[in-house]
């Protein structure tokens, strides 16, 4: 086996995990792919004696930190609400995102919360929570000392602590609730939707200025109900398919046969507390490739 082939195989053994790190750091699958490819090019030129897992994790993390710094400025100028780029994780597709117990850091809701963190806090939180790196290992990746990593981790935990207080339905309950929501939305079933929606439910839609979408969040049951009832007018042109996106049940939306969006309701018990919809065509490219 040639040295080039051996190095390629060592890299490929880490590719899925590296993509998982980059996606959680950036919230954008296409950007995560670019980071992983950039890491490979650097790996080709590196000392063959280095440990691939540790070296590549450090490279990917630091590439993501560089991109996050510029992404923050770009997202401040984004048209309408910014939501993460959805990825399909049903069936074997979960593999790139490691084990099932790590799904929490894949959900759109959690990725949105991670946007509140500084890039350094986000890196520490992702490496500790999703990939089980020790404080010492994270310190080596970020080139800082242990006490600083611990401080960053505490800050990150405090920022997102409130989101973890909700009661999450079991996968079977979640699936049934999603099916109820789907049918009620298509039928324009007001009593059923009123029963499903929490009083303070909020709906976000990310069209990025490139697809029809609300420019501001819709807040409260009555407002969200009106928003959903408007969708029922397109029932003849819309097909919604239950799927698993970002580790949780979701609806993949097809308009006139073309993938046009992803809707992910967030439940607290048996009530919907948030609805996140991505229609920006740029953010559907990765999911469309997964569907081919």
- Parallel, antiparallel, or unpaired for β 218-219 and 197-206? antiparallel
Mean pLDDT calculated for residue range 114-142: 95
CB contact at 8 A, 245 and 252: yes
Q: Give the residue from 163, 193, 219 where a domain finishes.
A: 163
Predicted confidence band of residue 171 (pLDDT cuts 50, 70, 90): confident
CB contact at 8 A, 243 and 222: no
Using CA atoms of 162, 164, 165, 168 in order, give the dihedral in degrees to the nearest 10.
140
pLDDT tens digits, one per residue of 70-108: 887 788 889 999 999 999 987 654 444 555 446 678 889
Query: Do residue 146 and residue 203 come from a single domain?
Result: no
Predicted confidence band of residue 186 (pLDDT cuts 50, 70, 90): confident
Query: Do residue 13 and residue 140 come from a single domain?
Result: yes
pLDDT at position 65, please? 96
Q: Give the residue from 147, 163, 179 where a domain finishes.
A: 163
Query: Do residue 184 and residue 148 come from a single domain?
Result: no
CATH of residue 75? 1.20.140.160
According to DSSP, residue 243 is labeled E
pTM for the structure as a whole? 0.90
Q: Which two tokens stand for residue 66?
A: 């560089």
pLDDT at position 2, please? 54
Q: What angle do CA 128, 82, 291 make, to 5 degrees?
A: 80
More confident residue, 120 or 70: 120
CB contact at 8 A, 25 and 31: no
CB contact at 8 A, 261 and 83: no
Tokens 């590296």 correspond to what residue?
A: 18
Overall number of domains in the chain: 2
Mean pLDDT calculated for residue range 115-136: 94
CB contact at 8 A, 207 and 192: no
Categorise residue 128: left if φ over 0, alpha if ψ from -120 to 50, beta otherwise: alpha
Q: Which two tokens stand for residue 285?
A: 């490219």
Q: Give the residue from 98, 131, 163 where a domain finishes.
A: 163
Q: Taking 80 as the threshold, does the pLDDT of residue 49 lie above it? A: no
Q: What angle do CA 214, 216, 218 make, to 5 degrees?
A: 85
Q: Which two tokens stand for residue 218?
A: 């819709």
pLDDT tens digits, one per residue of 214-263: 899 999 999 999 999 987 777 778 899 999 999 889 999 999 889 999 99
CATH of residue 260? 3.10.450.50
Mean pLDDT, rounded, of the chain? 89
Query: Do residue 218 and residue 254 come from a single domain?
Result: yes
Query: Do residue 157 and residue 178 come from a single domain?
Result: no
Q: Taking 80 as the threshold, does the pLDDT of residue 50 lie above it? A: no
Query: Do residue 70 and residue 188 come from a single domain?
Result: no
Query: Do residue 206 and residue 277 come from a single domain?
Result: yes
State how far the Cα of 4 lies from the Cα of 45, in Å rounded to an integer. 10
Query: Do residue 41 and residue 153 come from a single domain?
Result: yes
Query: Do residue 211 and residue 277 come from a single domain?
Result: yes
Query: Do residue 124 and residue 204 come from a single domain?
Result: no
Domain that holds residue 11: 3-163
Query: Do residue 159 and residue 175 come from a single domain?
Result: no
Query: Do residue 271 and residue 187 come from a single domain?
Result: yes
């Amino acid at each position: 086996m040639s040295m080039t082939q051996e190095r390629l195989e060592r890299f490929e053994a880490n590719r899925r995990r590296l993509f998982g790190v980059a996606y959680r750091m950036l919230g954008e699958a296409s950007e995560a792919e670019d980071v992983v490819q950039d890491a490979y090019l650097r790996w080709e030129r590196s000392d063959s004696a280095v440990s691939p897992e540790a070296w590549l994790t450090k490279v990917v993390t630091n590439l993501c930190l560089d991109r996050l710094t510029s992404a923050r400025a770009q997202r401040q100028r984004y048209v309408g609400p910014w939501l993460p780029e959805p990825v399909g994780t049903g069936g074997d597709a979960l593999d790139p995102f490691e084990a099932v117990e790590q799904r929490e850091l894949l959900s759109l809701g959690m990725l949105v919360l991670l946007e509140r963190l500084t890039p350094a806090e986000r890196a520490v939180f992702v490496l500790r929570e999703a990939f089980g790196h020790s404080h010492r290992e994270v310190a080596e990746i970020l080139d800082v000392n242990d006490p600083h990593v611990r401080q960053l981790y505490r800050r990150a935990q405090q920022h997102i602590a409130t989101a973890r207080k909700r009661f999450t339905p079991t996968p079977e309950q979640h699936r049934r609730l999603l099916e109820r929501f789907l049918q009620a939305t298509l039928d324009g079933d007001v009593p059923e939707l009123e029963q499903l929606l929490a009083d303070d439910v909020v709906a976000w839609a990310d069209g990025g200025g490139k697809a029809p979408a609300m420019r501001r969040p819709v807040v409260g049951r009555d407002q969200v109900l009106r928003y959903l009832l408007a969708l029922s007018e397109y029932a003849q042109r819309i097909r919604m398919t239950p799927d698993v996106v970002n580790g949780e049940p979701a609806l993949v939306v097809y308009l006139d046969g073309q993938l046009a969006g992803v809707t992910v309701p967030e439940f607290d018990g048996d009530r919907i507390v948030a609805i996140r919809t991505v229609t920006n065509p740029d953010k559907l490219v990765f999911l469309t490739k997964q569907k081919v």
